[in-house]
Amino acid sequence: MNKTLLYLGNALHKMQEERGCAVLFVSSKGKLFKKELLEAFEQSHDAFEKIRRGLEEWHETHAFDDEFLSKMEIVLDNTETVKSRRNRILNLEFNPTEIISGYSHNVISPLMDILVLVALFNKDNDPTKVSAYSYFLQLKEKTGRIRALGARGLVAKSFDNREFIDRFRFLIAEQDSFKRTFFAMADDKQKKLYESIMHGNAVRKLVEIHDGLKQGHKVTIPDLTPTDWFNLTSEKMDLMKDIEEKLAESLPKYDIPVSDQSQASKITVSRTVEGINSAQRAFIEELPFFINLPEDITSSLLQHAQVREYKKGKLLFLEGEVSSRLHIILSGWIKLFKGTSSGDETILQMLTSGDMVAESAVFLNATYPVSAQVAKKAVVLTLPAPIIRERIKQHNELALRVLDGISQHSQSLIQEFENIRLKPAAERVGWFLLKLLLEQGKVPDLIELPYDKSLIASYLDMKPETFSRTLKIFKGNGFEINKNSVILPNISALCGFCDHDLAAICDKHGKPECPNPGCDQGIGVDFK
């Protein structure tokens, strides 16, 4: 196995354990787990000392690039801060929330980013397997958070508190979300690894407790003590550590002989991009985010990219998940939606070729604010979020592109809300059809419907039957309505629905042949 991932993963595991011990110790006001906490301090120290020695070797052998070494030094500096705070923890100078936040944000999250970077930078690793590995690391971290928060809640008897229960349920929901995403990304071998290890008494008991909490019950085991909880969750975390190591072993695209593993573990950066053909590369370089970027910046981003084809119905991510990858649509359609309490969904946007998907979450290192699902077979370019964020810090020009992109996306959302939510049904449909006509630009009197009519109706915020009745109005005005297309009675038939935004992309606007010259001032043509 890659020795570097082993060292880093062991340090991560020990720091997660130290966080849990510290929370239990402080929550009990020093009555519980002092011995275990001191042992955790020592084990974490030893784990990071191995990394320090490794860092000296990596500098000498140039096994890693400067970016990785710099990030690793920052994490090691942060561990020194944690080290200096240990006596204050023993003196009960921090509360549990401060402890969870301090460990999580200063050391654990950055260390997880580095693990993913190491896996990605190894040219022998399969990017899809690395994505599954990344989601598993997030799943394990949520389990570690549940261990710490649950211990605190049992000490303080907070499981009777509605606010605490809601917070705990949310953490369980995040854990479940990462588990679903891991299984969606994992190949058969990775799934079997998980299923062969993740079982036993502790796992079964925790599932029972979590299921009870999700249904609104209190903890279902009356004699469960804070120590019992810590031991149960620690047993599960140890199983997950075993899975993590085996997943790391499974990352290479092909089985690598033991004699070659030391060489394969070296991180080398190649300028070739696997999975991106020349036509796709040309298209990508013309996108607003990439156009006229220096070649070295573009290549440094795309060398970690992958292009994947998704069938209709495939979920890219769910609302609330950590934004681990930036998605850019090369072809097809993707819908952004939010679920409602009644189980329905509200479609916020329909995105297509050239669009980024929920990019602000990636740029801002936030969770996805919406869910994304393929509405029509799509080809999507994805880039690892840690790589994107690191390049943004390094290159001001890229940072300006990000700000501009977020601004344009926000403006687009406002415009679509105004055009879709605030107009009568016929005006919504007419505006939508004209927008398609201008964007497609193939035949002046033919519109191809890009996805199902039921989905169009949902996007236009109307019921399917309302959409059907509205199409009949258009049919009565000479439009030919087919299953997958609409034929106009004349090329100007939709110009009455033009507005300021659509005028900006119409090549007739401002010219004598424009039948609706006042459209950008809100002056339309009557549509009977």
Q: Are residues 171 and 220 in the same domain?
A: yes
Q: Are residues 198 and 145 in the same domain?
A: yes
Residue 526 lies in a domain: no
Q: Are residues 250 and 316 in the same domain?
A: no
In 3D space, the residue among 21, 267, 328, 300 whose CA is nearest the CA of residue 121 turns out to be: 267
Last residue of a domain, one of 391, 411, 431: 411
Q: Are residues 13 and 76 in the same domain?
A: yes
Specify the residue for token string 């169009």: 456
For residue 356, what are the domain limits?
A: 278-411
Round to whole Å and give the CA distance between 223 and 200: 20
pLDDT higher for 468 or 501?
468
In 3D space, the residue among 138, 108, 144, 101 whose CA is nearest the CA of residue 230 turns out to be: 144
Question: pLDDT band at 270, cuts 50/70/90?
Answer: very low
Q: Are residues 66 and 174 in the same domain?
A: yes
Contacts of 167 (CB under 8 A, 6+ apart): 149
Q: What angle do CA 104, 338, 180 make, to 5 degrees?
A: 55
Residue 271 lies in a domain: no
- Cα dist from 247 to 186, 271, 436, whole Å: 10, 26, 45
Structure-block tokens of residue 448 = 């191809």
Q: Average the pLDDT over 131-139 and give the result.
A: 87
pLDDT digits (tens, 9 = 90+) for 492-508: 888 888 877 787 778 78
Round to whole Å and give the CA distance between 498 and 520: 8
Q: What angle do CA 427, 429, 431 make, to 5 degrees?
A: 65
Whether the pTM exceeds 0.75: the reply is: no
Least reliable range by pLDDT among 159-163, 257-261, 457-461: 257-261
Residue 272 lies in a domain: no
pLDDT digits (tens, 9 = 90+) for 66-118: 767 777 787 888 788 788 889 999 999 999 988 988 898 888 988 888 888 88
Residue 117 lies in a domain: yes
Last residue of a domain, one of 356, 378, 411: 411
Residue 261 lies in a domain: no
Q: Are residues 346 and 242 in the same domain?
A: no
Q: Are residues 340 and 228 in the same domain?
A: no
Structure-block tokens of residue 231 = 């031991």
Round to whole Å and give the CA distance between 233 and 82: 23
Number of domains within the chain: 3
Residue 262 lies in a domain: no
Round to whole Å and give the CA distance between 459 and 376: 14
pLDDT digits (tens, 9 = 90+) for 347-392: 888 888 888 898 888 877 888 888 899 998 899 998 888 878 878 7
β-pair type (315-317, 371-384) = antiparallel
Residue 343 lies in a domain: yes
Q: Are residues 339 and 364 in the same domain?
A: yes
